[in-house]
Chain A
């Protein structure tokens, strides 16, 4: 067992013995020689040649070690290692310890720094005997290299024991029995379940299968991975700065300045003299003649760094010089006509910001060069150039690049909001002069219209056929026609001058006609019985209105009742139940607004005093509210409590008309100052939306009352505009208002276009009355 051990030891120590050396070659080296080599190679610092005996040498070494231990640690390490190895030897070859006693003892002695690690006693023969201390396996002592002393049979081949059941003896002299070899099956199983570290070899020393330990496997793995086999080895440790590279400022020497520092240099003097001589002789001119310099200043040299630039392939590192576009035709003083901007282009160019302009100039044509004016941008351009040269930062207008379309609210396209009226389907022609007012009856069958010719006409709405007409205003125009709401009776109300007429046109079946006539006549009797209030003088006050038969001529035509008030009536507005209607005569001072009760033939003046001229009135579609529009404001009154509820201020200068959404919470207002205003009654007294799409005054506005979210306005510019105005039940959501269609067709006569408008009760159709004497049905 010894030779491999020695081999290993030597390997670790010298590193220059080839690994291939085998047992025989090992055996040739004597122990002493070996030690000598060891000591020589390791203690290379010792210059002194060691010729003496090994012991001397060792002693010397020892001394040196003792003295130079502090300064140099590496040798001591080596020594220790060697010492360990020797120690191992002692252990290993316990049987032959004697013959090597001296050999062994000295290295061991090196180990201890202060005292020898042996005691000298006398042995049984009376000779000197060294008794060594037990080696304390401290942390540093590496015992891993020592082979496990398991078999102590010595250096004989194991084959000698082939015929015995044991393979040797342990340190106690007990036989080491040959380990039981598995059966063929076990061998097979072993070969299948290869245990970790299995090599398939048998350890010659123990006869057991030679398996690699975990550490050995790890080493193998590292070698295979081309790593350093040693674990935890850092090939790149952080450098430890043993010597500083910083130069000290303080001079180390206090020597005085050498003399030569103070003495003028002869060499320099020589050179100076040489120059002086040259100047004297005129070989060197101390300055340039001034006139020459002036000349040079005049001709400045400009370098064009891109002068001879060759076109190069595009590359990041090569940014080609910006090429100036050659002047085009449009820069000419007299460009071809196609280059000259049109009026629209000119306007567009002028309206855009100078920064946004595509071109900085406008192509302009001059007949001749002498007519070309001075360059007007000269000062500006020079100034800019100067600023550029100064690298003057200038505030650049930071333009947000936002598509204007994206800023618009997302409105549905008009096509998606169908149906709405788009084309004129029927024309109602017959009126002479303007048609001032029109209305579709609650069933949508008949269209009633009244105009400047003093006639009221009823038309079949779908065909445009005039069915009935009556001349009610001899001098006056018919200002308002309205049907009584409700389908059980057909009663038409019309206002001409100071008279309001209630008409049952003979166009319906006898049953309905009878009902209608009865409704109109029901109030007779009430009016006569009503006591008239007395004035202060005790005289009977004039009644505010007179209810009477209009005369047999009109009665035959179906005009059944005439209500005469004091001034011209301009507006009629019915309550939804059909019993009340209200009229407005804007010129009347106090009795401007009158409420008439059909069933009692009674006229009442609800307001004694109104702020401003009342324009139009309307009953709320569901609540007992009454809206009165004056020129500037719309006031809503509670008719039951007789109080003012709200004042709506659309902000228009002169309200022409308004309409209440059938839901009752919204209001549209049209004004003579071209505005159409949408009010949310719950929201505010100010308009929710203002629309100014018309060129001229808005005459009439109207909501569709039959379920379509539509409203329309009529303007003096001869057009109607149809809007989609969806009111949602949700209080949080605002109404969507989308203009969907402009209906054009009415001609403008005497600055008047469309006078009135009405919606079909069910379908998305509307009718309009024009100043051109026609009514139109749009569907």
Chain B
């Protein structure tokens, strides 16, 4: 290793390779290396993959972290930028590189697709179920503006469709739907109701049934977002009427529905869509009116189901204690917030909130935290409608926006923001996923390409839905985790 003689003029620097993944760890003696300073990530990755080092059967692309940030320049430029001499030993942590997520499939719908959820072994709903999910039988749930829920298998077949409005389905567009368990689905939308469905699959897994089991009334405005917690049968909703609803999916334990909000309250002929099927109609466990403007998203704390976070158009992110239905903490940002997601992997749990000002704000929701805004992720050109965490990395997340793109972010890929951006730490997206129907097109106002919902699953990849009436699946296999692990 040290026998490499310095070639004419190129400086060399000592590097020390390390990794957190035991399967790609270098033997003890090979970790120190003298490399020329003009190498970039690609050359370093080649060095690591070479026979004398890891000797991998197929080359694994690596990314290199120095001091927790990705190396995006040559080593020389890094040394210059940080004022280091070439005498120092650089500690290079290598991780498997993110591979550009490749387009896999599109599931076509009749109308705009507003929401998408995934049932897989590793998804929350999959883990809550009793039997679990058979590998290969992952399901994708989509809710559409035509008021129908659809459950898809991996081969783009809609194996179940919810009944129409007259048969007990949603009377207006669905805006949010989630698997509560492998056999239960909750959905809500512009008809201001939450419906709980029983999902039963046939033995051959090629057909299934969606049967409404419960209708929940209480909101006076559109329901924008829904989150579920399977073990406690709790449903959280965020509504246009500034309220957050706490509901239960068990009919017996739910209170009576408020009569004025039932569709039968309206004696209009037009509204005589009265459900022939007698689905039980129930009310909310609690309605919290803490927000002063429409609530756009609400989520359970993934680590603690008694805590919920919400964000809304009143620029705030609020923390709720669900046992007492109390607003515990309020963080005010400077823009209306349209989406929210928790990043539980990081030791200090972070919330990522998508704003109408086209960026994602990372917030520390802990009461003790001094700074409200940790980081800003910039890159979208329209409001951020949906955020999902990377299921396999502690630092990754994906966001969907009305600009028709999904962007993958790595919190380690940061820089210091310019003054115009309000300084602070600014992150930039690692990859951009366009809608397959409108590649390289940038319609004004995101017309026809808006992404309404995005989900990231270990088994299925990145699932996104939008105004193009499709659920698009992009496979980032090996993006953040090793193949076959």
| Chain A interfacial positions (CB closer than 8 Å to B) | 415, 419, 423-427, 429, 443-445, 460, 462-465, 467, 506-514, 556, 745, 762-763, 765, 776-777, 779
Contacts and interface: CB of A to CB of B under 8 A. Distances in A.
A559 B357 CA distance: 37
Contacts of B335: 419
Nearest to B220: A509
Contacts of B262: 510
B420 A510 contact: no
B381 A423 contact: yes
Contacts of B261: 509-511
A510 B263 contact: yes
Interface stretch (B52-60, B133-141, B226-234, B445-453): B445-453
Contact of B266 (A443, A513, A776): A513
A523 B240 CA distance: 31
Given A425-B402, A445-B221, A779-B356, A464 B263 contact: no
Given A445-B222, A506-B270, A510-B266, A423 B382 contact: yes
A427 B382 CA distance: 12
Interface of B: 112, 145, 173, 190, 192, 219-222, 240-241, 260-263, 265-266, 269-271, 293-294, 313, 334-336, 338, 356-358, 381-383, 402, 420, 443-447, 450, 452, 467
A508 B221 CA distance: 7
Given A465-B173, A511-B265, A763-B313, A427 B293 contact: no
B444 A424 contact: yes
Contacts of A415: 420
A516 to B, nearest CB: 11
A776 B445 contact: yes
B445 A509 contact: no
Nearest to A745: B444
B452 A762 contact: no
A429 B443 CA distance: 12
B222 A425 contact: no
B382 A465 contact: no
Nearest to A415: B420
A687 B442 CA distance: 42
A337 B382 CA distance: 48
Contact of A427 (B241, B265, B336, B447): B447
Contact of B270 (A419, A425, A509, A556): A556
29 contacts: A419-B335, A423-B381, A425-B383, A425-B402, A425-B445, A427-B447, A443-B240, A445-B221, A445-B222, A445-B240, A445-B294, A460-B222, A462-B338, A462-B383, A464-B445, A464-B467, A465-B112, A465-B145, A467-B190, A506-B270, A509-B192, A509-B261, A510-B261, A510-B262, A510-B265, A510-B266, A511-B261, A514-B266, A779-B383
Contact of B221 (A419, A509, A765): A509
B260 A511 contact: yes
B265 A762 contact: no
Given A423-B382, A425-B383, A445-B240, A777 B445 contact: yes
A777 B402 CA distance: 12
Given A464-B445, A765-B356, 12 more contacts: A425-B446, A463-B112, A464-B447, A465-B173, A506-B271, A509-B219, A509-B220, A509-B261, A510-B260, A510-B265, A512-B220, A514-B260
Of A419, A510, A745, A777, chain B has the most CB atoms within 10 Å of the CB of A510
A419 B112 CA distance: 31
A425 B220 contact: no
Contacts of B334: 419
A513 to B, nearest CB: 6
B442 to A, nearest CB: 11
A426 B402 contact: yes
Nearest to B262: A510
Given A424-B444, A467-B190, A762 B313 contact: yes
A737 to B, nearest CB: 24
A763 B220 contact: no
B136 to A, nearest CB: 35
Nearest to B258: A511
Given A510-B261, A762-B313, A763-B336, A426 B445 contact: yes
Contact of A424 (B260, B265, B338, B445): B445
Given A510-B265, A511-B261, A763-B356, A427 B444 contact: yes
Contacts of B293: 762
A763 to B, nearest CB: 6
A445 B296 CA distance: 12
A423 B89 CA distance: 48
A512 B294 CA distance: 16
Contacts of A465: 112, 145, 173
B315 to A, nearest CB: 9
Contacts of A425: 356, 382-383, 402, 445-446
A296 B266 CA distance: 124
A426 B220 contact: no
B434 to A, nearest CB: 18
B333 to A, nearest CB: 12
Contacts of A513: 266
Nearest to A509: B220
Nearest to B420: A415
A768 to B, nearest CB: 11
Contacts of A460: 190, 222
A554 to B, nearest CB: 12
A685 to B, nearest CB: 39
A444 B314 CA distance: 12
A718 B192 CA distance: 38
Contacts of B381: 423
B113 to A, nearest CB: 12
B5 to A, nearest CB: 52
Nearest to B111: A465
Contacts of A443: 240, 294
B188 to A, nearest CB: 13
A656 to B, nearest CB: 26
Closest 5 CB pairs of A and B: A427-B445, A509-B220, A427-B447, A510-B266, A424-B445
Contact of B446 (A426, A444, A514, A765): A426
Contacts of B443: 427
A423 B293 CA distance: 22
A219 B450 CA distance: 108
Contacts of B336: 763
Nearest to B336: A763
B220 A429 contact: no
Nearest to A779: B356
A58 to B, nearest CB: 109
A514 B402 CA distance: 34
Of A429, A464, A465, A509, chain B has the most CB atoms within 10 Å of the CB of A509
Contacts of A423: 358, 381-382
Contacts of A762: 293, 313
A415 B422 CA distance: 11
A424 B447 CA distance: 10
Contacts of B383: 425, 462, 779
Contacts of B271: 506, 510
Contacts of B269: 556
B472 to A, nearest CB: 18
A460 B402 CA distance: 14
A651 B21 CA distance: 76
A253 to B, nearest CB: 101
A512 B446 CA distance: 32
Nearest to B292: A762
A467 B382 CA distance: 22
Contacts of B265: 510-511, 514
